[in-house]
Amino acid sequence: MTPNEKLNTNKTEIKQLNKWVLDNREDLQNAQIELEECKSQLSKLEQTMRTKSEESIKARNRISKLIIENEGLEKEIKLSEIEDKATQLLRQEPSFWDALEIRINHLNQTNGENAYSKLDSLQPTEEIIKKFKDYAHNPKNMSDYAIMLKSAENSYVEYQKSLCKKKVNGETITVEDKQGRIQLLDRILHKPEISAFWN
């Protein structure tokens, strides 16, 4: 190929390439616009992903807190149910004052003949118990005697309730448990200030 022919060939190719560039310039511009739009959408998607990720972490943390809270509530409900059932059982048991009267009568009967000879000089047990109860429940009476009786009543009720809870939980009430109840009654009955009324 002569130089002239080569020159003409090159000019022809340049002309064709220029035409191709011109023809494809719009496509290139459109492609650039689409690329920018894609970048913008990608940025939005990345932001959405970050937001969703943060929300997901918050949701998981909230779930963990709710699970812990629910465990606490379930435990509280269970304890409340046990407490309610124990309270119902407690209502069926003799009150402190009834138990005290029964115990005084039992002790008097087991003290032998000397005790029977003294019974004529003592008040009937129900009157003694009424006096004890009036002392303990009189809000104006703040004597050691009244406080002693009220404290004994509270201790007995709490002990009885603990036995009722054991029953609710399916536990066995042992001989020692029952003796503990009697020991509470005897402890108050054998205090000198109290025993003087019945012994």
**Over the stretch 93-145, which tens digit does the pLDDT of each residue have?**
999 999 999 999 888 888 654 444 444 445 678 888 998 988 888 887 778 88
Q: What is the pLDDT of residue 169?
A: 92
114 and 62 in one domain?
no
115 and 77 in one domain?
no
Q: What is the pLDDT of residue 30?
A: 85
115 and 186 in one domain?
yes
Which of 84, 109, 141 is the last residue in one of the domains?
A: 84
171 and 120 in one domain?
yes
**Over the stretch 64-86, which tens digit does the pLDDT of each residue have?**
999 999 999 999 999 999 999 99
165 and 127 in one domain?
yes
94: nearest Cα among 7, 194, 182: 182
145: nearest Cα among 191, 187, 86: 191
0.75 exceeded by pTM: no
Which of 61, 84, 107 is the last residue in one of the domains?
A: 84
181 and 147 in one domain?
yes
Whether the CB-CB separation of 188 and 153 falls below 8 Å is answered with: no
Query: Domain of 178?
Result: 93-198
What distance in Å separates the CA atoms of residue 151 and residue 83, rounded to the nearest whole number? 21
132 and 98 in one domain?
yes
HEC string of the chain equals CCHHHHHHHHHHHHHHHHHHHHHHHHHHHHHHHHHHHHHHHHHHHHHHHHHHHHHHHHHHHHHHHHHHHHHHHHHHHHHHHHHHHHHHHHHHCCCHHHHHHHHHHHHHHCCCHHHHHHHCCCCCHHHHHHHHHHHHHCCCCCCHHHHHHHHHHHHHHHHHHHHHHHHHCCCCCCHHHHHHHHHHHHHHHCCHHHHHHHC
194 and 109 in one domain?
yes
Which of 84, 116, 131 is the last residue in one of the domains?
A: 84
184 and 100 in one domain?
yes
Ramachandran region, residue 173 (left: φ > 0; alpha: ψ -120 to 50; beta: rest): beta
67 and 21 in one domain?
yes
73 and 1 in one domain?
yes
136 and 75 in one domain?
no
**Structural domains in the chain (count):** 2
